[in-house]
Amino acid sequence: MINNTNFKRLAPLKEDSLSLELKSYQLSLLSVGHFLPKGNHGITNTSLPCHRIIYILTGPIRYTIHDVTLVLDRGDVLYTPPNTIYSACGMKEKTAPEFLYLYFHVLPHHREQDFIHMMETSGKIRVFHALRSPVEFYFHTIMEEYESLRPGYYQKIHSYLMLVIMELLRQKGPRQASPSPAVSSDTNLLLNKATSYIAANLREPLRISEISRTCGISDSCLYRIFSSSLGLSPKEYILNCKMEYAIQLLKEQTMTVTQIARELGFANPNHFSNAFFKVTGVRPSKYFSFPSSDRQT
């Protein structure tokens, strides 16, 4: 207990709603870099299994996402969720797309769709204009830390990633009120129970009937909970979790593709390879080079 009278007159600092919401997510920074393709080549039908924020350095750029074409110019910032298929090319002759990028994962898994919705990319594409704004300063500071690699660089870059996200959310204007947690408390409890069971049994060939029985509900009820809360079926969620674990094992480069397939409960390596390609857009044998600053897009 502090008895100083001056201290007692200080107004307590309370956490606001946006700060509390961001606090509920765990962001894992994967890669940072400066993308500049060799020659005048653009990017064609590319996809990555992670969240992505880019800052355009040169423009104008013709950018296509899910068959929607945008024109991005210097200072524009774009967020895309995992597995977004996109293409990009310069609109001027002999001009290639050039941008800074941040790639990251969002945890916990069952909150990922909430994060995507918070960034307002569900059903529409939002471009932020950041020229001469704090976001421009944040990106350049991130690149300085990335290039110098001074002690503590990861934590500083991660902190600036959070600042970038917060500034982008501020630009959206007033936020809509969230639904009452009391309405969905039972659903959240069942969802947490199901996702926890899946996380604990990723090495097994999980069956939907096992998960629903563990939660004490029917298969159809389990499907409704996953579909309404995550926008995914239980099978799709399981597959995404297995592939995220597979990516971690591939990065460690201590196991073969066959061993990883067996580790994740797949009947054979071909089945695993096809599932991995479905989620990430690349074969496991081609994934060892990820991430690489001269190839990431």
Q: What is the mean pLDDT of residues 226-236?
A: 82
How far apart, in whole angstroms, are the C-alpha atoms of residue 1 and residue 163?
33
pTM, full prediction: 0.60
Task: Read off the pLDDT band of 158 (50, 70, 90).
Answer: very high
Residues 186-198 have pLDDT tens digits of 777 788 788 888 8
In sequence order, which residues have a C-beta less than 8 Å from that of residue 72 and are 6 or more positions away? 56, 59, 60, 61, 63, 78, 127
Between 37-46, 111-120, 233-242, the lowest mean confidence (pLDDT) is in 37-46
Residues 76-96 have pLDDT tens digits of 999 988 878 888 888 777 677
Residues 55-70 have pLDDT tens digits of 999 878 888 887 778 8
Of 95, 93, 115, 96, the C-alpha closest to 104 is 115
